[in-house]
Amino acid sequence: MSIRKDVVEPSVKLFEGERWLVITGILGFILAAGIAVYIFFQGSIILPEGNLGDAFSFNAAIGIFILSIAAILPLARLGDKKRKTIRWLFIISSLYAYAIETIQNFRGFNPRFSREGSVVDMIGGMLFGVFSLILVILAVLLTIQFLRIKFPFERPLLLIGIRYAFISILVANFAGIWMILLQDRFTGDMGNIIVLHGIGFHALQTLVFPGWLLEKIQLQDQMKNRLIHYGSIAWMLSIIVIAIQTALGRTVFELTTLPIISGIFLLVWLSTVIVASVHFIKNWRTNTLRTNSITPNQG
């Protein structure tokens, strides 16, 4: 995953050609916003099993995940047919996930592991599992595709962040399969698999965003390379520690050895993002000053 100095100039744009994926992602935020308003006035619990707080967080999470996929899919170097197939599988799976999560929680049933619902509710939950597996398969296919891309890279710093992000997503998908097998999100005394699942998926933002920042700033290539690798590796190590803590049946929100180690790794990742952000802001200010100084002279 090293960066060479003779890379080609960036040409592929984020989100290019992915209008329907973008719309699907935005729909998740619209649903989450509507649920938030309902919770404000009516509360989140609907008996016997419904929890609108879960529906709110799920729809928002799927929304940001699909928007992230829409952003990076143009960089995957897929043929038109493969890209179209992957796009619509993501869209169909997401729409079903939005529908089952929202409708079932409003009806008062757990959309995945209902113990109070009818046979129809259980079938809906099983289909939820099927569509979840489709998302897992799509993520694996994209992981393989991004790892197979050979030099010259389109937007190399961004590509490195994407590669690390998809490795993190693989861990998140294993957590999802873990929940399906357990028919629950909890393990042991206090372990909550959904935390590992959610944090793993957020790598599409936390590791891709620094790559986007770094490609925009004036800095030595070696320093950019170190920042993206150090930050991404620290994130991955944090995910691994969280997975171990969860497997032990312990919560990641306790002040014991493993959560503290995970927090330290996250601080390392955060420090690389801060460094990249500071340089980005400095470059933006410099460019703004240059533009303002040139414009009056041209007049």
Q: What is the pLDDT of residues 16-57, one digit of tens each?
A: 999 999 999 999 999 999 999 999 999 999 999 999 999 999
Half-sphere exposure of 125 (CA within 13 A, CB side): 21
Mode of pairing for the β-strands spanning 191-192 and 186-187: antiparallel
pLDDT digits 0-9 by tens, 249-298: 999 999 999 999 999 999 999 999 999 999 999 888 877 777 776 655 44
Contacts of 151 (CB under 8 A, 6+ apart): 4, 7
Element holding 46 (H helix, E strand): strand 45-46
Written as one letter, the residue type at 172 is: A
pLDDT tens per residue across span 89-144: 999 999 999 999 999 999 999 898 788 888 888 888 889 888 888 988 999 999 99
Q: Which one-letter DSSP state was computed for residue 186?
A: E
Which two three-digit tokens encode residue 247? 């497997």
Question: In angstroms, what is the C-alpha Rg of the chain?
Answer: 21
CA 189 to chain centre: 28
Six token digits for residue 224: 């950019």
Do 51 and 194 touch, CB atoms closer than 8 A?
A: no
